[in-house]
Structure formats: structure tokens, C-alpha cells
């Protein structure tokens, strides 16, 4: 299953020119608004494309808040609620995949 998800994400990124066409969404917008040095439009677009392949819209909305409120990510990770644990597993799979696919342009 994970293999097919990775292939699908690679195909999506490749079809979109490696993120240069500007995928938009909650994740991309939050990434750009975070004003981090490595947060280029290309990188944020790539991360959004991976999110589109691996997270539901509600998961994307929830995860986007982590860019401006990192403590919320920590609270979610440490939560004992089963719904938070399931979300965190999906979120970690997304971040792992985005980290594999969306390398910073100047890396």
C-alpha cells in the first residue's frame, strides 16, 4: 500500500513539473506564510501535492495549523485520544513521504 502511495505521489509531482505549477491549498498557504527560509513556492507546492495524495481535506486543514502553532503538533502527538493517535499516524506518513519527495531546490 505504501509503495503505491509513493508511486502515486511521484507521478503527481512529475506530472506537475516537480511542483513548479503551484499547487494551492491549506498546506501550501501555511507553508508560505510561515516565512521560513527554505519555504519556496516550489517546495510548498510540492508538499501540497503530497498532502493532496495522502491526507483528507480535514486532515490538511488540521495539519496546516501546525505551521503557525507548533505546540499544537506536540500536543496532538502526545495526546491519549485515539482519534489524535490515528491522525498523527496519517500525518507522520505524510511528512515522511513529503520529506522523501520534496527536497529543497538548493539541497
For residue 1, pLDDT over 80 is answered with no
pLDDT of residue 103: 78
Q: Mind listing the pLDDT tens digit for each residue in 39-95?
A: 999 999 999 999 999 999 999 999 999 999 999 999 999 999 999 999 999 999 999
CA distance 89 to 70: 17
Please tell me the distance from the alpha carbon of residue 31 to that of residue 15, in angstroms, as a whole number.
Answer: 22
| Containing structural domain, residue 35 | 2-101
Number of domains the chain is built from = 1
User: Mean pLDDT throughout 17-34?
Assistant: 79
What is the distance between the alpha carbons of residues 99 and 61, in angstroms, rounded to a whole number? 19
Banded pLDDT at 104 (limits 50, 70, 90): low
Instruction: Examine the pLDDT at 100 and tell me if it is beyond 90.
Output: yes
Would you say residue 107 lies in a domain?
A: no
- Residue 34 is classified by DSSP as T
Amino acid at each position: 500500500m505504501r509503495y503505491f502511495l509513493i508511486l502515486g505521489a511521484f507521478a503527481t509531482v512529475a506530472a506537475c513539473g516537480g511542483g513548479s505549477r503551484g499547487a494551492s491549498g491549506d498546506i501550501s498557504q501555511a507553508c508560505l506564510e510561515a516565512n521560513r527560509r527554505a519555504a519556496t513556492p516550489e517546495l510548498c507546492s510540492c508538499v501540497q501535492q503530497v498532502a493532496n495524495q495522502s491526507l483528507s481535506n480535514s486532515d490538511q486543514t488540521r495539519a496546516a495549523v501546525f505551521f503557525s502553532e507548533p505546540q499544537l503538533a506536540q500536543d496532538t502527538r502526545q495526546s491519549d485520544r485515539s482519534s489524535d493517535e490515528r491522525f498523527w499516524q496519517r500525518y507522520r506518513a505524510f511528512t515522511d513521504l513529503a520529506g522523501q519527495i520534496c527536497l529543497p531546490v538548493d539541497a
